[in-house]
Chain A
């Protein structure tokens, strides 16, 4: 059916809430796109156009009303565990240490404690939180917490990572720092990611392509390729790049805000 195996592919996805009921809501309709290997695809669109709902469908947390999702070429009804998922809220369990939070997914899969602690400690050291293994999330800053949430996502080694406005609750400096880190990790580990953001600058900085959704019911309006090299994508310097400014104008004018 699918010739080329994209990490992720959607075909004609639609979600209708309360179908047939009096408060029927079509969240989005006929969404078809592919996510290529090693790519970051950003999704921008007006609030309420169904971005979070789309992620729920892709992650297998809720069924689509119409349409199909393929992960690595196979149709999935249940992509749980294959697709990593990170939200604006870090969702760390406050009663668990950083190590136990990072190892949560592995624990659910039944990986023995020693093994998952080893994976967790390796990630924690690699992403600059060495020494905080036994700390409780409540003692960490917002940026550190979001980093822990990202490690928890990586621990299961998913091919596809969904990021739903993951940096929007952070202060400017931390956000810039984490954007860079996440780009590097996704690049180095050869993952693919979809980034939902309402920050056009963030979309241009991080994404290889930007998919613009219309007002609800969300439909794909346009997909814009961002042709910038990794070394041009410095969140601060990029702002003065003329191509950044052109992309910004284009995306801004296409967004129905």
Chain B
């Protein structure tokens, strides 16, 4: 695993270097405007400056905290609710159209409501990240439970299992791969939630950094924030890989 990753590392670094070099060259030759696009050496200087003042860590920490907490809350509650929906078909049928409707709306449209309810502090960012991941987990997990092999459920009944026993012993473990693969999607959704919350109203966080830099036409600052978001996303993805490795059967 680590070997096969390392094997491609030179190519990956090379690709990034080539892109940065072309970008830098185009800006130096004044084909691209430094003002509108930013440029790698300026971004590097910006990152260095933000790192030396500790600002970048502070912003990244705030965003990561909101995204991770929202991710954990939303994914856990959403997955559990999705699993539980299998237990009662009547309830599932009643709530189904509502879930479909909510899922159809770009969920980020709910963000202003959540900020009104939870205020402009970090709670609202956590809540937005949690809401997004909740919906995604709920739907994916419930659909996962519906994929349970019908013959397997018949077998359980032939052994005398109650619905609750079939759920615990078959449906939940069988849906686990769905739960786990949804976690990976949810890393993205949690970050979207936290960053959008910060765009709308905030005094800190990477979303704030990106938004505020953009308003000031500090494109290098925007890029610095985006790079930091990528690092946070990669770290969260690593975390999910670890969870996956421990839970997968």
Contacts and interface: CB of A to CB of B under 8 A. Distances in A.
Given A104-B169, A108-B165, A91 B159 contact: no
**Chain B interface extent, by class:** 10 to 19
A61 B159 CA distance: 10
Interface in B88-118: none
B158 A108 contact: no
B42 interface: no
A89 interface: yes
A85 B169 contact: no
Contact of A93 (B154, B158, B165, B170): B170
B45 interface: no
A84 B176 CA distance: 28
A87 B151 contact: yes
B157 interface: yes
Contacts of B159: 80-81, 104-105, 108, 156
A48 interface: no
A251 interface: no
A61 B160 contact: no
Q: Which of A56, A80, A91, A156 has the most CB of B within 10 A?
A: A91
A12 interface: no
A81 B173 CA distance: 23
B156 interface: yes
B154 A108 contact: no
A56 B169 contact: no
Interface string B137-160: 000000000000101101111111
A60 B152 CA distance: 15
B161 to A, nearest CB: 5
B3 interface: no
B8 interface: no
B173 to A, nearest CB: 5
Interface of B: 149, 151-152, 154-161, 165, 169-170, 173, 176, 249
23 contacts: A56-B154, A59-B158, A60-B158, A61-B157, A80-B157, A80-B158, A80-B160, A81-B158, A81-B159, A81-B160, A84-B158, A85-B154, A85-B155, A93-B170, A93-B173, A94-B249, A104-B159, A105-B160, A108-B156, A108-B159, A108-B160, A108-B165, A156-B159
The 8 A-B residue pairs whose C-beta atoms are closest, nearest first, are A95-B249, A81-B160, A85-B158, A105-B159, A80-B160, A91-B155, A108-B161, A59-B158
